Amino acid sequence: MNRLAVLISGRGSNLQAIHGAIQRGQLDARIVLVVSNRPEAAGLEWAAGEGLPVLSLPSRGLGREEYDAALMAALDAVEPDLVVLAGFMRLLTGRFIERYPQQIVNIHPSLLPAFPGLHAQRQALEYGVRWSGCTVHWVTEEMDAGPILMQAVVPVDEGDTEDSLAARILVEEHRIYPEAIGMVLRGEVRLEGRRAIRVRG
Ligand code: GRF
């Protein structure tokens, strides 16, 4: 059984989508740990209520190396096949990333490489793009710059606010994240340079 460790910092709606896909039998995996760097994250309480193993590992006041060492120790104890970042608001160190080669994925609410970093939906609105979307990518040391696994496109409407655009993108996030995770777990994708190539499926 494929073992997922899910890292969150907040609401946890992508975590819920992944859990839902597992429960419906669409994703052959098990969530072996949910970690939040913010003890007050709503997603942590939700996960505990679902009976998922949870760990609150506060990052406040800790340096990046120090925090990632603690995170690695927690993850190593549950031997994840894939580390899933789902709204985890911290940059991971090179040491952490090297510990799980091609085993860390993230979702970002824009069509990367456009609008990396914080407030991607606001950046898209301010830039005036007509289309935005979301991107699932492998995690490398550079923020939001790893090889792209899957993308979905959504239109930007003239009357959109940051919230309305974020909500439209989120629907697609919840659809493609479990799908992309399944693709990786089934070994259906390999890297050629920075291009992710489908090998079967
Ligand atoms: C999502 O928009 C995701 O793309 C971004 O952070 C947000 C997390 O939302 N990385 P949630 O906590 O999964 O609801």
Return per-residue pLDDT of the chain as tens, 201 residues. Answer: 799 999 999 999 999 999 999 999 999 999 999 999 999 999 999 999 999 999 999 999 999 999 999 999 999 999 999 999 999 999 999 999 999 999 999 999 999 999 999 999 999 999 999 999 999 999 999 999 999 999 999 999 999 999 999 999 999 999 999 999 999 999 999 999 999 999 975
CB 113 within 8 A of CB 143: no
Q: From the CA of 87, how far away is ligand 1's center (Å)?
A: 4
pLDDT at 1: 72
| Beta-bridge mates of residue 137 | 106, 148
| Beta-bridge mates of residue 107 | 136
pLDDT at 47: 98
What are the DSSP E strand ranges found in the chain?
A: 2-8, 29-36, 54-56, 82-85, 104-108, 131-138, 148-155, 189-192, 195-198
CA distance 87 to 107: 8
pTM of the predicted model, to two decimals?
0.97
44 Cβ inside 6 Å of ligand 1: no
Tally the residues of the chain.
201
Question: Measured over all CA atoms, what is the biggest interatomic distance in the chain, rounded to whole angstroms?
Answer: 49
- Quick check: is 19 catalytic? no
My answer on whether omega of the bond before 113 falls inside 30° of 0, hence cis, is yes
Of 107, 123, 164, 169, the residue with max ligand 1 atoms within 8 A of its CB, to mutate for a pocket test, comes to 107
CA distance 130 to 101: 35
pLDDT at 201: 59
| Beta-bridge mates of residue 34 | 6, 54
